[in-house]
């Protein structure tokens, strides 16, 4: 009973500490704020968006910013600002799904390979090497080509190509402390390998994996945008940012706003995740614990 009352506030307290730490530095504060705006925009899209993102108005195409359209209209007369706001939902879905696939998968492969070593390590790491040696966009292209172009397939493809660096990282981390005394103590207590990996090793890998995942999100967004740009990700009329740039490209010379605003959105969000990842690295570094 005392367990719940005492241990429940502890993670919340830690989370608050981390957020305070991140907000204290301008760069990571920027990342956090952009991320907050992105989530806010995605959650409140129906209220923030000024127009329906799918309604076409062929009498009002390629309007420059202004005149009731904050970022102008595209080649079918749709409001670009509203499409960007709705597109935030797609971006967040991609990031969320990729992260919950890539994080656990990379971590399991890495910790198992690192903990057991020997042949298990050899086999798992060679598989990882094979995935690593393909350029991720090309591999994604191959997956999408095989599975057919759609947003979900793009997410699966990105997930399948983004886990090897996480696995490598988790393996390297695991190897640094698999011979530590506390692991030996756990073995002496009769803990099974599964128990040691889940309870002792994964908590130690978690901070660096979280940092790596955050830094990876920028790549994930760019790959998703790239797939969208090539027409292999989100299909029209979905307001995915990469796809918006792809269709806007044909009108780029005369109507700069078609590609500029989706491009800036991708830039801001990727940058935000990179800065946030850097900030998290400082925040989760045990050597900096004392400063909080």
Partner 1 sequence: MTASVEIENLSISFGTVKVLPSVSFSVAPGECFGLVGESGSGKSTVLRCVSMLTDFWSGTVRIGGKDVRSLPLAERCRLLQMVFQDPYGSLHPRQSVRTVLAEPLRIHGLGDREARMRQALVDVGLPVDFLDRFPHQLSGGQRQRVAIARALILEPAVLLLDEPTSALDVSVQAEILNLLARLREMRGFTYIMVTHDLAVVDHMCDRFAVMQSGEVTEILPRSAIAGNGATHPYARELIGASLEYEGQR
Q: Distance between CA atoms of 76 and 59, rounded to whole angstroms? A: 9
Residue 189 lies near partner 1 (rule: CB under 8 A):
yes
Contact 258, 80 (CB under 8 A): yes
Of 110, 98, 104, 89, nearest to 140 by C-alpha is 98
Q: Distance between CA atoms of 180 and 238, rounded to whole angstroms? A: 51
Q: Which of the 8 DSSP states describes residue 50?
A: S
Neighbours of 166 (CB within 10 A): 25
- Residue with Cβ nearer partner 1 (132 or 186): 186
Residue 24 lies near partner 1 (rule: CB under 8 A):
no
Contact 247, 75 (CB under 8 A): yes
Residue 13 lies near partner 1 (rule: CB under 8 A):
no
- Residue of the chain from 11, 188, 254, 287 that contacts partner 1 (CB under 8 A): 188
Residue 187 lies near partner 1 (rule: CB under 8 A):
yes
Residue 18 lies near partner 1 (rule: CB under 8 A):
no
Collect contacts of 259-266 with beta carbons under 8 A, ≥24 apart. Answer: 261/71, 261/80, 261/81, 261/84, 262/80, 262/84, 262/87, 265/84, 265/87, 265/88, 265/241, 266/221, 266/222, 266/225, 266/241, 266/242
Residue 264 lies near partner 1 (rule: CB under 8 A):
no
Residue 184 lies near partner 1 (rule: CB under 8 A):
yes
Residue 286 lies near partner 1 (rule: CB under 8 A):
yes
Residue 43 lies near partner 1 (rule: CB under 8 A):
no
- Residue of the chain from 200, 219, 223, 270 that contacts partner 1 (CB under 8 A): 200
Residue 204 lies near partner 1 (rule: CB under 8 A):
yes
Residue 11 lies near partner 1 (rule: CB under 8 A):
no
Residue 62 lies near partner 1 (rule: CB under 8 A):
no
Residue 284 CB, nearest approach to partner 1 (Å): 12
Residue 198 lies near partner 1 (rule: CB under 8 A):
no
Of 136, 278, 132, 143, nearest to 221 by C-alpha is 136
Of 215, 247, 251, nearest to 228 by C-alpha is 247
- Residue with Cβ nearer partner 1 (207 or 231): 207
Residue 228 CB, nearest approach to partner 1 (Å): 40
Positions that interact with partner 1 (CB under 8 A): 3, 6-7, 180-182, 184-191, 195, 199-200, 203-204, 286, 289
């Amino acid at each position: 009973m005392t367990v719940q009352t005492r241990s429940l506030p502890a993670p919340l307290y830690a989370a608050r500490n981390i957020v305070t730490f991140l907000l204290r530095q301008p760069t990571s504060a920027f990342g956090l704020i952009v991320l907050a705006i992105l989530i806010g925009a995605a959650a409140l899209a129906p209220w923030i968006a000024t127009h329906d993102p799918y309604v076409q108005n062929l009498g009002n195409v390629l309007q420059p910013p202004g005149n009731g359209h904050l970022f102008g209209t595209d080649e079918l007369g749709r409001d670009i600002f509203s499409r960007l706001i709705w597109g935030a939902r797609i971006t967040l879905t991609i990031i969320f799904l990729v992260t919950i696939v890539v994080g656990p998968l990379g971590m399991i492969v890495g910790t198992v390979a690192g903990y057991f070593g020997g042949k298990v390590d050899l086999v798992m790491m060679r598989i990882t090497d094979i995935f690593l040696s393909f350029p991720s966009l090309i591999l994604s292209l191959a997956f999408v080509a095989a599975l057919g172009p759609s947003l979900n397939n793009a997410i699966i493809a990105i997930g399948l190509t983004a886990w090897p660096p996480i696995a490598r990282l988790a393996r390297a981390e695991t190897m640094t402390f698999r011979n530590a005394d506390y692991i030996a103590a756990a073995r002496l207590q009769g803990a099974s390998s599964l128990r040691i990996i889940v309870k002792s090793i994964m908590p130690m890998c978690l901070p660096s994996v979280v940092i790596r995942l955050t830094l990876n999100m920028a790549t994930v967004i760019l790959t998703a945008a790239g797939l969208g740009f090539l027409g292999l990700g989100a299909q029209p009329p979905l307001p995915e940012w990469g796809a918006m740039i792809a269709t806007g490209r044909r009108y780029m010379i005369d109507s700069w706003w078609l590609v500029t605003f989706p491009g800036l959105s991708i830039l801001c969000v990727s940058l935000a995740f990179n800065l946030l990842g850097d900030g998290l690295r400082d925040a989760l570094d045990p050597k900096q614990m004392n400063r909080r």
